[in-house]
Structure 1
């Protein structure tokens, strides 16, 4: 027996073994019966306290922007009070179904840092889908847009104006404008603004 025939025999054996393993991989399915039992996963609450979505998804910072200066607070009572109050508002989008307005970067920055009107800003740690917000707040209009926003701006209106609430995506440069026709909303926002 010469070297060439030994090499050919070894190569033939290796090809047959390879074909055997390939056939097994393609045709044999593992048994998943033990995973079909749903009682394996027990539903265990994390704690005894139940929370509503707005208590879990909440802003982390509150800023007040005036034409002259910018303010922030380390006291969470104003942030928590405003966030809780906003849950009772009814948000109106008007007749426009395609509500997200896209801006250029320059126009977006001009709108945010506008000296024409004072604003209160709520910042979130991460982007939140608008659909999630709609499930937490009362919306009187269905929307077609799906955006993730990371900030909410509230204008500081006169007593006779409707309270405007802007849901802002700084990543996509989009703004969703809503209005709240409640005198209490205007008064609450003005109170926080005046305590700056």
Structure 2
């Protein structure tokens, strides 16, 4: 066999093999194993909350013939709310036009009134999730106080008022009725405690301006400051919860920040002050959003990732700015800080979409996180607070909206490797929408 024949046979074999391999490649159907992702993006950072737990009063007062008793004590407030939860309110009607400014002031502070005070206004339609109303179409009003008129009846019905009091631009009074026996039961259970229980203190009225009277304690009182060992939260959990597609999120770090971003959103964790912010820059705030929708959207948004890591209460609603704020509370006192985003969960909303979300990046926890014994702090009386405000030439009482005791949160930097926070009781006042601290050192506090 000559060389040319051998070459032709080899070439033929190679072509046949090539055709065979190509055919097998085209027709091959491998059996793939189903790959199930074990990465879960449905994360829960903390807890979910019901609306009832977030829309809470933070003071309760009782106006007797010759004295006013009041308390921020959570258990006392809960006792009133618990009784109210079994009620069914009827005949809700807007009677705002029946009250002048002075008549409204007299209604709020007259003898025989039990007064639940909320930090800011709430839409009445939202509170329908907390207490039962017979009426299908509630008045489209807001309120910041619930007044129980325990001495007045219309027939066999007791009277409950939902009042928006002291607001710059609007004031509302919605009258509702409840079974008279229910009101009598509240009266019997509450009045004796308000007059004689140690949880209650004696208060007096401070007429701040033409629109508002604020109640302040007559005597100085002893409170406690605390030191807590706190826990930092997990940035990865928030990243997986807040971004639409966590797989397409990039991460960068600096000495003080962790930065996460995708094509439309940005999340920053400030590890110096332990706050987190998330923003959708392409979403514009919605100035037409209602209070009701703000409350609904904000609660649902945080519940979706279990973002309630401590006790928070609705503290501020501003539909004109499309903003809402839930403030951290300790022992039913609001917690404040000089650094934004460390004691409040705040949100700004666009059209059905979150625009900005800012919150603490740590969790105080519970009593087991408390270090050392509580420290006694003597807070001055309401008279001292009043005098301090009146004598301060930088303060215009026309813009004072509220006065309350709260905790000032500061980080203890003596142990930089630990996340320690001091919570110190102090007097605060709300001035043109902002809560400011009255310096204790200028008020003779120990």
Relative to the length of structure 1, the TM-score reads 0.66
1:163 shift after superposition: 2.5
Corresponding position of 1:156:
150
**Structure-2 change in CA distance of 1:150 and 1:130 (3 Å):** same
Distance 1:73 1:93 in 2: 30
Corresponding position of 1:112:
108
Instruction: Describe how 1:156-195 pairs up with structure 2 within 5 A.
Output: 156-157=150-151, 161-170=156-165, 171=167, 172-181=170-179, 183-195=181-193
1:43 shift after superposition: 4.7
Instruction: Describe how 1:13-162 pairs up with structure 2 within 5 A.
Output: 43-48=42-47, 50-93=48-91, 99-102=94-97, 103-114=99-110, 117-143=111-137, 145-157=139-151, 161-162=156-157
Distance 1:108 1:168 in 2: 9
SS at match of 2:128: helix
SS at match of 2:122: strand
1:162 shift after superposition: 2.5
1:76 shift after superposition: 2.1
SS at match of 1:67: coil
Structure 2: runs of 5+ lacking an equivalent: 1-40, 196-446
Cα RMSD (Å) of the superposition? 2.4
**Structure-2 change in CA distance of 1:51 and 1:163 (3 Å):** farther
Contact 2:58 2:72 in 1 (8 A): no
1:71 shift after superposition: 0.9
Contact 1:91 1:178 in 2 (8 A): yes
Contact 1:122 1:152 in 2 (8 A): yes
SS at match of 1:146: coil
Q: Which has the higher strand share?
A: 2
**Structure-2 change in CA distance of 1:87 and 1:61 (3 Å):** same
- TM-superposition CA deviations, 1:69-119 (whole Å, max 9, x none): 11112432111111122122100016x5xx2423321221122233xx411
Corresponding position of 1:30:
none
Relative to the length of structure 2, the TM-score reads 0.31
The runs of at least 4 aligned residues of structure 1 exceeding 3 Å deviation read 42-46, 157-161
Paired residue total: 149
**Structure-2 change in CA distance of 1:145 and 1:168 (3 Å):** same
Distance 2:67 2:59 in 1: 17
**Structure-2 change in CA distance of 1:52 and 1:189 (3 Å):** farther
